[in-house]
Amino acid sequence: MITNAGLLTDLAGDSDVFILESRIANLQVLDGTSRYNDDVWDLSPGLRQLHVKAPRIIWGSFPAAYRAAAKALTYAMISVELPGTHRPDLATVRTNHTYVKQLVEWMDARNIPQVAQLTENHLREYCEDNADKSYDAQSRAQRAVTRFWDYRDSIDDALTFNPRRLEFWGAGLGYQREGKTPRISEEVLTPLIEWALRFVDAGSQILDLSDEYDELRTSRPTYGRLYNKRQEQERMASAKLKLLTTVARLRSAGQALPGNVDGGLLRGETSLSAEVGGVNFSHLARMAGVPNYVAQHVARPEILAAAQELGIASGSFLSRRVTFDGVSVQIAYRDYAVLRNHLQTACYILVSFFTGMRDSEAKHLERGCSRARTDSTGALTRYEVSGLTFKGTQIKPAGRRATWVTTEVVHDAICLLERMIPEHSSHLFTPLREGTNADRGVARSVVTSAQTNLAIGRFIAAANHIQPALGVGQQIPVNRKREISTRMFRRTLAWFIAQKPGGIIAGALQYQHHSIQMFEGYAGESESGFLEEVEANKAMLRFEAFVLDRKAHGTLDLRGPAADEAERRIAASGEQLRFHGIVVEDDYQLADILEVADVNMHQSSMVICVMDPAKAACRRAATTPDWDGCQPMDCNNAVFTPDHLFRWRREERDLGQAIDGDVLAPAVIDRLRSRRDKIRKVLEKVGY
């Protein structure tokens, strides 16, 4: 890892530099990996997580005039650790490359030869040109530009000003900053969870059809030509007999012949009049286990005659029906693989939301990860899911073990996933290969994040398509500007728990009265850091509360060294803080409004940071606080509300109880006493 960024430019000029040298400690693994001057950079040897698509950067397709600047920036992101931050993961590096290419192509069309020549007006125009794109695309495009400022000490062609200072930078983007992922609104979440539960409730019936589907998929042989005419005739006669036997079986069951019409659950189950010529000869051949040629040509007259008698179905269906919420439906053969993928997506939605897992954590779940805990009497007490977490594991990039306490819903979904994946696979979210591709090659170990995001969109489209036909549930609203992604589920659950302590989410999830009993696991059992995310959401809600109180009463009970400055900043932003004409869609949008107003105030559970880099105790020459290094008792940027001071008073009391006990070593007691005395001094100083 390069910490002296000034050395980077010299290193980059060496064609023998391995681009992943700072990421791979094993020299044997490093040998043969990409070098700086290569036309293709393969980043996959540095990956540690299965769900990330193997990233490659192809410089040959990059505009030549800007290639050197882009290479330097990309190498800096791989190798340099900026003060107070961690290096971005390699998937982020590859994504950033895409948006850097977008930027330089935009520059090339306007004859701007260097990044250093970009002006405020240029960036304003760039934002306006991207305004019709999704929030995510706009956010990533702006981050790519900002990195030319962040890594200015490591590259030759850098921005000459900080774009974060611009009034329009990030305006309207609810999550353009780290940790500002938007939540899923209740209007979308409720029907989405309902439909996921419907699919999981019907999951066993869907998977019971897999044997029939696989048999049909593999049952139709191909005959090589026999040059013995008599043997060929005998073989065709035997195949024809099989086919006619299948037709006779349909006749005795009172069933119509399979049809070519696109009927079925995913295409609409319309009732059509039988029409000669609409027979699905291919599917009839599958049912009989004979070549398609036999149905199309050898037995065609007999099949058409049977069609006149039996009629033609509105599709080619599997034999058993599936019940969704009390409504029995037929499943078309050609729909089954898609339906099974939708079931996998439904399981992902429930696992991700009801556990609060990150996408990386869900994708590394394996067979046997869920178990039921019972008490001494054998009564069920809770379900636990074990897996890996990667957040904050820079020292252990392969992840560390973690446990989530969850519900029966998740346990049932995991059981379905274990049935669904191939026998040779261990990871629950192994790709389900469809149709004739199912037996070709070895599938990727897990589904990527991008694939899951697309699958969630397809699941929503399918649910909205079948809802009118089933006559149950409701449509899932679709917002093309803010499509649901994997990272939103954790954010949404944290918001619910912050809003309703104790984990009661029944108000938004009324379908079949599923109980929510997860908070214990988030607070104490899990190593995944979910509690911190819940606390961050609670802190933001408190931040919103005191700003709205400022709006209503014009005064705030703020105390601490930066209290006057906080009042001044809030007062200076008066017009924007009145929210005239603004609908605040979520709590993070409020923080965006404050940031655009140049308030630059940041909230945690223990303090408000009225950020002034010159006074910061955590980090200097920075625009945002370093919460890991926050020293609120010693910082002149600190402001406390009554809520904060109550927490500090409680900590002071807890420290006193620990000091008065007799179980701690003298050295530990001395440290605790020092901290308690410091808290007391600050509380006395602010008059609390």
- DSSP sequence for 615-634: T-SS-SS-SS--GGG--TTT
Q: Cα–Cα distance between 307 and 296 in angstroms, integer?
A: 14
Q: What percent of the chain has pLDDT over 70?
A: 72
3-state SS string over 370-416?
EEEEECCCCCEEEEEEEEEECCCCCCCCCCEEEEEEECHHHHHHHHH
User: Across the beta sheet with 608-610, what order do the strands follow?
Assistant: 601-603, 608-610, 638-639
Q: Name the CA dihedral angle for 214, 435, 464, 313, rounded to a multiple of 10 degrees.
A: -60
Q: In this structure, which amino acid lies at residue 589?
A: Q
> Which of 651, 648, 612, 640 is closest to 546 using CA atoms?
640
> For residue 597, what pLDDT band results from cuts at 50, 70 and 90?
very low
| Phi, psi (rounded to 5 degrees) for 381 | -110, -40
Query: Averaged over 193-199, what is the pLDDT?
Result: 94
pLDDT band at 73 (very low <50, low <70, confident <90, very high): very high
DSSP 641: -
Amino acid in position 666: P
Give the count of alpha carbons within 13 A of 570, CB side only. 27
In Å, how far are 189, 194, 496, 510 from 186, measured between CA atoms? 5, 12, 10, 12
Q: Give SS3 for 655.
A: helix
Distances (CA, A) of 253 to 211, 256, 600: 21, 9, 74
Categorize the per-residue pLDDT at 14 as very low, low, confident or very high, splitting at 50, 70 and 90. low
Pairwise pLDDT comparison (687 vs 397), residue with the higher score: 687
- Report the alpha-carbon distance of residue 373 to residue 384 in Å, rounded: 7
Per-position DSSP letters for 294-342, written without gaps between them = IIIIISHHHHHHHHHHH-B-SS-B-SS-EEETTEEE--BGGGHHHHHHH
CA distances from 262 to 334, 474, 487 (A): 9, 24, 35
pLDDT at 612: 84
Provide the 3-class DSSP secondary structure of residue 614: coil
pLDDT surpasses 80 at 338: yes
Q: Is the pLDDT of residue 324 over 80?
A: yes
Ordered by start, the domain boundaries in the chain are: 5-165, 210-317, 359-450+475-528, 531-640
Helix (H, G, I), strand (E, B) or coil at 609: strand
Q: Could you give the CA distance from residue 362 to residue 359 in angstroms, rounded to a whole number?
A: 5
Question: Which tokens in the block code for residue 280?
Answer: 């699905």
Q: Does 463 score more than 90 pLDDT?
A: yes
Summarised one tens digit per residue, pLDDT across range 384-438 is 888 888 765 444 556 778 888 788 899 999 999 999 988 888 899 988 876 544 4
The pLDDT tens digits of the residues spanning 200-250 come to 999 999 999 999 998 888 887 766 665 567 777 888 888 889 999 999 999
CA nearest neighbour of 593 among 582, 603, 604: 582
Residue 207 confidence (pLDDT): 94
**Do 377 and 314 touch, CB atoms closer than 8 A?**
no
The Cα–Cα gap between 252 and 340 comes to: 31
pLDDT higher at 558 or 199: 199
624 vs 621: CA distance, rounded Å: 9
Q: What is the dihedral of CA 227, 233, 234, 237, to 10 degrees?
A: 140
Sign of the four-CA dihedral 184, 178, 103, 161: positive
Of 568 and 282, the one with more pLDDT:
282
- pLDDT of amino acid 158: 92
Percent of the chain with pLDDT over 90: 23
- What are 245's two structure tokens? 């036997």
Nearest Cα neighbor of 44 from 23, 26, 25, 28 is: 23
Instruction: Tell me the mean pLDDT in the region 660-683.
Output: 80
Whole-angstrom distance, CA of residue 355 vs CA of residue 529: 12
pLDDT higher for 593 or 137?
137
H/E run at residue 57 = strand 56-58
Amino acid at 383: Y
Q: Which residues pair with 58 in a beta bridge?
A: 40
SS3 content of the chain, % helix, strand, coil (to 5): 50, 10, 40
Cα–Cα distance for residue pair 454/67, rounded to 1 Å: 31
The alpha carbon of residue 272 and the mean position of all alpha carbons in its chain are separated, in whole angstroms, by: 42
* Structure-token pair, residue 347: 């399981």
pLDDT band at 441 (very low <50, low <70, confident <90, very high): very low
Q: Which residues of 376-397 are buried (b: 16+ CB within 10 A; e: fewer)?
A: eeeeeebbbbebbbbbeeeeee
Q: Which of 199-213, 308-322, 455-469, 601-615 has the lowest mean pLDDT?
A: 601-615
Q: Among the ranges 395-404, 436-445, 463-472, which has the highest mean pLDDT value?
A: 463-472
CA 124 from chain centre, in angstroms, equals: 30
For residue 581, the SS3 value is coil
Q: Give pLDDT, residue 103.
A: 95
The model's confidence at residue 591, banded by pLDDT at 50, 70 and 90, is: very low
Spatial contact of 347 and 412, defined as CB atoms under 8 Å apart: no
Residue bearing the bigger pLDDT, 503 or 362: 362
Phi-psi region of 481 (alpha: psi -120 to 50; beta: other; left: phi over 0): alpha
**Mean of the per-residue pLDDT values of the chain:** 77
Task: Note whether 285 and 295 are within 8 A (CB).
Answer: yes
Model pLDDT for residues 622-631, shown as the tens digit of each residue: 667 776 667 8
Per-residue pLDDT band for 176 (boundaries 50, 70, 90) equals: very low
Residue matched to tokens 């036999």: 294
Q: Give the SS3 label for residue 684.
A: helix
- Residue carrying structure tokens 């790709």: 431
Residue 376 makes CB contacts below 8 A (sequence gap 6+) with none
Query: How many CA atoms are closer than 13 Å to the CA of 515, on its beta-carbon side?
Result: 6
pLDDT of residue 315: 82
Helix residue ranges per DSSP H, 151-228 = 186-201, 203-208, 210-219
What does the pLDDT look like over 127-165, one tens digit per residue? Answer: 999 988 887 888 899 999 999 999 998 899 999 999 988
More confident residue, 334 or 119: 119
Biggest CA pair distance of the chain: 107
